Structure 1
Amino acid sequence: MCGNITNSSCKVDILQGAAYSALFIPGSIFNTAALCAFIAKRDSWTDTHIYMVNLAIADSALILFLPFRIYDAFFCLPKTTWCTHLMNVHFINMYASIMTLTAISVHRYLVVKFPFQTRSWRKKKETAVVVCLVIWGLLLSIGAIFQKENDPKKLWTCYERCKDNPLGPAAITMLIVPGFLIPLLIIVFCSTQIKCILSKAESNSEEMKRILSIVMANMIVFIVCYTPIHVAFLVNLQKPPQDWQLNYPPAHVYLQVSEWIAATNCCLDSFSYFFLLKSFYSQINGSTKALSTP
């Protein structure tokens, strides 16, 4: 079906262009401001700050390349190897956000569960740097391995694969299991354990309630943002002949919508930065309050 698709036959997608434009403007403002705020206080960074900066970098990188997707929606970019790189950048940064959020959840849990042991650990910042480097190294390596999956010949448009040629089972398994299910289980476990620990604490202050609310809200946002797109990956493994002959088959439309929902996490993360940024700078490294930041 892709063989008959040319750049001249590419259709303008006003809704998709408008949707990503609505993300790009606030996302670029919020993430840039967050990075500037963190950099301004770089001398007082803790291990928590390092994770947060890594998350802001991943979100900012995804936002930075959205103009290409917006342009493609309105004017249609030619299907070249540049499209392959654009798709890799989009998904690598999305999974960098997922992995960093997972690391932050583990970080929170360890400090809440073992406050004295983690407070005395002297290599916290070094460990955070290593974890962040491992995340990027792993994702870049996986992206290079599966780069051929987004070869221009397999693309329907610059940002969309051929409707009759979805990702293969190996790539789908890699995206869903280590890319989503394992991080999801870790985040749910850490968040629920933190809730149990804080609920049993003698202190029942408003600050403690606020921390607990943020932890649970972050878990819910993660589920809402990233579950639809991974369900879409599974759905698009199937190729019903009748559906895939349509210009806009339901499964394909769902995939596009779910990709946009996943991208909204870049904006939602930035709200969290600002919500607790002041308390970040006033807390001692390793304190429970600092670790409550997503």
Structure 2
Amino acid sequence: DALIFFLINGGLGYSVVFLLGFLVNAAALWAFIGKRKSWTDTHIYMLNLAIADSLLVIFLPFRIYDSFFCLPKTGLCTFLILLHFTNMYASIGTTTAISVQRYLAVRFPMQARLWKRKKEAAFVVCLVLWVVLLIMCVVFREENYPERLWTCFDRCKDQPLSLKFVLLLVVFGFFIPLLVVVFCSSRIICVLAKADDKTDEKRNIVNIVTANMIVFIICYTPIHVAFLVNFFNHKLEKWECKYIPAHVFLLVSEWIASTNCCFDSISYYFLLKGFFSERT
């Protein structure tokens, strides 16, 4: 358990995520901003996703530093934890919005083409998402105050998250978006698979939708299972906090969730591939 604790909660795993995530998201932001005159609603969603991933990545050095030198438990820790999970749920929310947008475009293609305010709608959805997440941070900020922490990034098991906060994260933050993503992705795959004209573009859409759905499930399921597991394992002594199996599972699942900022490059690749091929 101690070895896993070092590898995952330590700097090694997050260093890899930082390096890959920084390169991928810096390239994506550069490409999106460079082509801003040709943006569609999809590009706005993808830009929002890249911003959320980039904010998560650029603050990972604090977590890497903490693994080697231990940051003091101050308000900075509370800020870093809130920022980390705000960006994670911004990514979840944006991915869900993209899934709905793709489904509507495939299921109702004529209406989607005729609607003239798609970009404005995408901007409003992204803005509302960030406003809701910021409000949640303010309302539940006490959940991660320094006195509730074992280290700067780790909670003690005798200071569990409140039940209403756990249910909010699991049900509204993950389970409902999961149902939406799976439903929309499955319907898109079914509709395009039954199409008579299976063009390369449609095959690419099926590939990217399938990949995004799998990545979403793999990256975000473990951490929400871990939230529930750790909540029901809170009747433990403080000194056991670091090495109990449930806590190690939480550390591993947090790292897995953070890798999503690298896997989102699948979406960027297919979108930007079409972006540039249209002009060659």
Q: Does residue 265 of the first structure (1) align with residue 260 of the second (2)?
A: yes
After superposition, the Cα gap between the structure-2 partners of 1:144 and 1:30, relative to the gap in structure 1 and judged at 3 Å, is same
Q: How much has 1:245 moved relative to structure 2?
A: 4.8
Q: Does residue 95 of the first structure (1) align with residue 118 of the second (2)?
A: no
Q: How much has 1:14 moved relative to structure 2?
A: 5.4
Aligned match of 1:8: none
Runs of 4+ off more than 6 Å = none
Aligned match of 2:159: 165
Mapped partners of 2:39, 2:24: distance in 1:
20
Q: How much has 1:155 moved relative to structure 2?
A: 0.5
Give yes or no for contact 2:159–2:234 (8 Å, CA) kept in 1: no
Give yes or no for contact 1:14–1:74 (8 Å, CA) kept in 2: no
Mapped partners of 1:87, 1:60: distance in 2:
15
1:109-258, aligned counterparts within 5 Å?
109-239=103-233, 241=235, 245-246=239-240, 247-258=242-253
Q: How much has 1:131 moved relative to structure 2?
A: 0.4
Mapped partners of 1:160, 1:50: distance in 2:
34
Give yes or no for contact 1:51–1:104 (8 Å, CA) kept in 2: yes
Give yes or no for contact 1:26–1:267 (8 Å, CA) kept in 2: yes
2:16 partner SS: helix
After superposition, the Cα gap between the structure-2 partners of 1:56 and 1:280, relative to the gap in structure 1 and judged at 3 Å, is same
2:150 partner SS: strand
Give the residue type in structure 2 aligned to 1:88.
L
Give the residue type in structure 2 aligned to 1:118.
A
Q: After superposition, give the CA deviation of every residue in 1:92-138 in whole Å (9 maximum; x if it has no partner).
A: 00000000000000000000000010111011110000000000000
After superposition, the Cα gap between the structure-2 partners of 1:245 and 1:157, relative to the gap in structure 1 and judged at 3 Å, is closer
Aligned match of 1:50: 44
Q: Figure out how many residues of one structure are paired with residues of the other and give that number.
A: 273
Mapped partners of 1:283, 1:225: distance in 2:
32
Match of residue 15, structure 2, among 21, 27, 31:
21
Give yes or no for contact 2:11–2:63 (8 Å, CA) kept in 1: yes
Aligned match of 1:35: 29
Q: How much has 1:89 moved relative to structure 2?
A: 0.2
Q: How much has 1:70 moved relative to structure 2?
A: 0.4
Mapped partners of 2:114, 2:25: distance in 1:
32
Aligned match of 2:273: 278
Mapped partners of 1:13, 1:180: distance in 2:
28
Unaligned segments of structure 2, at least 5 residues: none
Mapped partners of 2:37, 2:265: distance in 1:
21
Q: How much has 1:207 moved relative to structure 2?
A: 3.6
Give the residue type in structure 1 aligned to 2:263.
L
Mapped partners of 1:58, 1:177: distance in 2:
21
After superposition, the Cα gap between the structure-2 partners of 1:240 and 1:35, relative to the gap in structure 1 and judged at 3 Å, is closer
Q: How much has 1:20 moved relative to structure 2?
A: 0.2
Aligned match of 1:290: none
Q: How much has 1:261 moved relative to structure 2?
A: 0.1
Root-mean-square deviation (CA, aligned residues, Å) is: 1.8
Mapped partners of 2:114, 2:235: distance in 1:
61
After superposition, the Cα gap between the structure-2 partners of 1:194 and 1:283, relative to the gap in structure 1 and judged at 3 Å, is farther
After superposition, the Cα gap between the structure-2 partners of 1:90 and 1:242, relative to the gap in structure 1 and judged at 3 Å, is closer
Give yes or no for contact 1:243–1:250 (8 Å, CA) kept in 2: no
Give yes or no for contact 1:59–1:93 (8 Å, CA) kept in 2: yes
Aligned match of 1:75: 69
Mapped partners of 1:133, 1:210: distance in 2:
29
Segment drifting more, 234-243 vs 161-170: 234-243
Match of residue 84, structure 1, among 50, 71, 78:
78
Aligned match of 1:4: none
Q: After superposition, give the CA deviation of every residue in 1:139-197 in whole Å (9 maximum; x if it has no partner).
A: 01011100000010000000011122121101101100110000000000000110111
Unaligned segments of structure 1, at least 5 residues: 1-11, 285-294
